[in-house]
Structures are given as structure tokens and as C-alpha cells.
Copies of this chain bind each other. A is one copy, B any other.
Amino acid sequence: MKIKRIAIDTHPENTAFLSRGGNGYSPEQFQALRKIEIGNGTVSILATLAIIDDAALLEPDMIGLGEQAFRRLGLPEGAEVSFRQAPVPHSLEHVRRKIDGDTLDDADIHEIIQDISAYRYSPMEIGAFLVACAGFMTTQETLALTRAMADAGRRMRWPAEIVVDKHCIGGIPGNRTSMIVVPIIAAHGLTMPKTSSRAITSPSGTADTMEVLAAVDLIEEKLVAVVEQEHAVLAWGGRMNLSPADDILITVERPLRIDTFEQMVASIMSKKLAAGSTHLLVDIPIGPSAKVRSQREAIRLRKLFEYVGHKLGLVLDVVFTDGSQPIGRGVGPVLEARDVMAVLRNEDDAPADLRERALMLAGRVLEFDPALEGGRGYARAMELLGSGEALAAMERLIDAQGRRKEVLEPGRHHHEICAPSDGTITAIDCHLIARIARLAGAPMDKGAGIDLLHKVGKEVRRGEALYRIHAHSETGLIFARELATAASGYTVTP
């Protein structure tokens, strides 16, 4: 059969099209054919089959390929291919054993991850694997999963002997310390090629906030050139094909909201390994509305990180931080970028908590440098920030990545949420603040978000503004205001 390109995009899945007539298949057979393998003996892909009933769309002797399938197969239109019912990946037997309660060995997990990376699993099959793992997973399985995920993609190599990174397990709005830590480390001269994610369920990821100031969607050559010149980068990691299995797993973990510690560690560590890091600082915020809710949980997570890190030869430092309320004032890309620059510029009213947290983390990262071992990192971080060297490094980074020409402003529609009574702010719910900011339009609308005017511990009067919602669109403001009016996220105790 000959390939015909069909201008239909079924991201993220491959779709192939066959004409119903003239193939000699019965409806039952088509049903059994639901997934097919198409190839020419040299290259092949798997695709979900759709049947076309319109001869104008597809001739009987042709096989249509949707955009993804056409691109991934990589053959020209008209090329001769054959197809067959897709073989069931053998590794699904391991998944079935895992569902039955078995423990898998390294080879089993390696095979599963190889098949997932090669798009041989359907979302349903990936979900089955993840849910079975969520039920029970040994540390040995977690290690095997991490290694298999790192092996499935490419690895970046850097000339420096020490390549540092930091990772926060997230969940705390406004926690944009990376954008302060990276320039401090770069100013010191350590190599820190920081690739970050965009927001998945939060109002902004480091990549979204950095994008307010500079290009973050860099091709690899560009990223390498920036690191060569500036020792650092603050880029979006999505383009680098680091741990592609993780990128696929996330498309299923996200809607199912699976985030067990085991999958979290495998995801983070596989990406760091693939990114060529040798030293990693892991920041675990603890708080009632953070991902980790107690010291006990945090210790379990730290042990898992340390076990996997040790086995993979990564130098690891794990730090527990206060995750009881948002960090800084701004929540959402533009507002967070404002806070970050205020700290780097040493402005008087820069958010003290963001500055403090960033200095502490930068200090820990700096101590990966043998010259600063033994507690001298914090002082060095203070020095680099206070002297303006960190700011200068950030400005160079922005120029190297590509400075954004227009200056983005907070959304012009705004609304203030006020204290319901006199009292003291005793709690701020990170989840609710994040949801309100997302309803306002963050991170799609860069200027949308929340400006927190007061934080925990502050005494307020009845009717005094607690925070301001910003949105670009009126509907965004209405949605966010509705939720904020019903549940502001602030607890004011008289």
C-alpha cells in the first residue's frame, strides 16, 4: 500500500486511516486491528486505526497517516509500506504480573520503559502500569525505573567536572528561587544548566516565569552555547528529549493525578541524570497544603532520593523548607518575574522571604564547590547577590537566551479580596491560591495571577485588602473572583 498524508492532528497519538471498502476485512476484523504496525522493513511505527468511509478522502489501496504518524514514520508520500496487526508488546506481561502483585526486576522494568518510549503502549496500558506501581513499589523497583527512564533518552555531557542543579518538588505558589539561585551560581562560576518545566497544574513554572524576560524554548545548539558562555541557562526542558519516557508517563500521570513519591523520584532523578548533573540540591517544602505534609513524609521522601541518588552516583543534598504559605508576593508569570528582579536588584521592598529562601538554597548549592565546603556557601551567596554580580549574570543570561522586547504588565482587570473581620492572618492555602490564579488565566496569560499584599502573621482590619487578582480578560477575572469570594484561601483569626 502507498502512504497518503492526511492533514489530521491527533496529538499525542499516531493515527492511521484505511478505507473501509476493498480491503477484504470484516467489521470484526477491523475491530481486532485497532492498533497496527506500519512499515517498510526498515522503519516502522505503531498507530491507532481509523476507518474512512469516503472514497474521496482515501483510495482503497492507500493507507492514510495523520500528522504525528507521518512525521514519526519519516517516509515520503507514496512510499510503499505494509501493515499488520500490532504485536502486543511482550513487556505487557510484566505489567500484568505487577497488577497481580508481583515485584518486577531491573530487566522487566527496562523492557517496559523501552516499549513506552517507543510509543508501543496505549495511554490505557501506561495508566495500568502507573496505577499498579502506585499500589506498591519497592526501592529497588524505583531505582530500576529511574535508570531505565534515564537510559531511554539521550544524555547531555558538559566539560565541567561539577555540574550542579537544584530541584524543588513544588506545590508552593510564587516559589521562584531558581531564577535567583542560577544567576548567583553562574556569577560564582559553577556550571548550572537549569532546564525547567512549564506549569502543569500550577499557575506558573520556572520556564513560564523566565519567559516573561527571555526566550526559554531554545534549540540544543543554542542552549549549549549559552551554557558555554554564561556557565548557566534557564531554559524550558521540553525540547531536549531528556527522559522521553517521563514526558510520556506525565501525559497519563497528570489526568490521573498520580504523584507517589516513587514516581516523583524516578521522574526527577531520571531527568537530572539525563541532563548531565553531577550534584543536585533537592528542596522539599513541608506544609499543610504542600505536596509533602509532614516531617515524617519528608523523611521517607528524602531517604528514597538518597538511595536512588547514591546508586546512580549523584551527589545529593536534600533540604526541608517551610511550605506553609506562598513565597514572595506575586503568583503568576509577570508578577513572579517582578519579585525575582526586585530581589536581584536588591530593592528595599523586595520580598524578604523569597530573598532569604533563595540565598539559603544558593548557599547549599555553592557548597558543592570544594572551595566553599563546610558552611561558607551562604556568605558567598550574600556577597554575589549584594554586590550586583548576580544581577549582572542574570542580565547576561537574558541577553544570551534572547531578551523579550516588549515589557509585560500585570493584567489590567483587577479585583481585591478583603479581610472578612479584624484579626491576624494565620494560614494561606497554597492549593486555593494556585487555583484562583489559574482561573484568572495564569500561566497562559502571562500577566494573570495574584498579588499577595499580606502574609501569615500580619494583623489586618476588616475590609483591608488581602490580595489582588489580576487578569487580562474580564471572564478570567470573574471566574477567579467567584472562587476567591467563596473561598479566599486566607484564614483570618480574630
Which B residues touch A88, using CB under 8 A? 255
- Choose one: B11, B127, B255; the contact of A131 (CB below 8 Å): B127
Q: Is the CB of A124 within 8 A of B255?
A: yes
Q: Is the CB of A53 within 8 A of B127?
A: no
Q: How far is the CA of A88 from the CA of B257 in the complex (A)?
A: 12
Q: Tell yes or no: A252 within 8 A of B by CB.
A: yes
Q: Is the CB of B99 within 8 A of A134?
A: yes
Residues of A91-112 at the interface with B, using a CB-CB cut-off of 8 Å, are 92, 95-96, 99-101
Q: Is the CB of B127 within 8 A of A258?
A: no
Q: Tell yes or no: A219 within 8 A of B by CB.
A: no
Closest chain-B Cβ to A493's Cβ sits at a distance in Å of 29
Chain B residue nearest to A26 in the complex (CB): B444
Q: Tell yes or no: A7 within 8 A of B by CB.
A: yes
Q: Is the CB of A131 within 8 A of B53?
A: no
Closest chain-B Cβ to A401's Cβ sits at a distance in Å of 20
Q: Is the CB of A9 within 8 A of B135?
A: no
Which B residues touch A319, using CB under 8 A? none
- Copies of the protein in its oligomer: 2
Q: Is the CB of B132 within 8 A of A50?
A: no
Q: How far is the CA of A127 from the CA of B96 in the complex (A)?
A: 12
Closest chain-B Cβ to A19's Cβ sits at a distance in Å of 10
Which B residues touch A53, using CB under 8 A? 7-9, 67
Q: Tell yes or no: A123 within 8 A of B by CB.
A: yes
Interface size on A, residues (CB 8 A): 48
Closest chain-B Cβ to A97's Cβ sits at a distance in Å of 11
Known contacts A67-B53, A132-B131, A256-B96, A20 near B29 by CB under 8 Å: no
Closest chain-B Cβ to A187's Cβ sits at a distance in Å of 33
Chain B residue nearest to A11 in the complex (CB): B31
Which B residues touch A50, using CB under 8 A? 8-10, 15, 66
Residue-wise interface mask of A (18-44) relative to B, using a CB-CB cutoff of 8 A (1 in contact, 0 not)? 001000001011110000000000000
Known contacts A8-B17, A20-B9, A53-B8, A257 near B124 by CB under 8 Å: no
Closest chain-B Cβ to A402's Cβ sits at a distance in Å of 19
Q: Is the CB of B7 within 8 A of A131?
A: no
Q: Tell yes or no: A382 within 8 A of B by CB.
A: no
Residues of A424-460 at the interface with B, using a CB-CB cut-off of 8 Å, are 444
Which B residues touch A28, using CB under 8 A? 444
Task: Show 19 residue pairs from A and B whose CB-CB distance is below 8 angstroms, ordered by the A residue.
Answer: A7-B53, A7-B57, A8-B50, A8-B52, A8-B57, A9-B20, A11-B30, A11-B31, A53-B67, A57-B57, A88-B255, A96-B257, A99-B134, A99-B256, A124-B126, A124-B127, A124-B256, A127-B131, A128-B256
- Given A28-B444, A128-B256, 20 more A-B residue pairs with CB atoms under 8 Å apart are A7-B52, A7-B54, A8-B17, A8-B51, A8-B52, A8-B53, A9-B20, A11-B51, A26-B444, A29-B444, A53-B67, A92-B256, A96-B256, A99-B131, A124-B255, A127-B128, A128-B128, A128-B131, A131-B131, A131-B135
- Residues of A participating in the B interface, judged by any CB pair closer than 8 Å: 7-11, 15, 17, 20, 26, 28-31, 48, 50-54, 57, 66-67, 88, 92, 95-96, 99-101, 122-128, 130-132, 134-136, 252, 255-258, 444
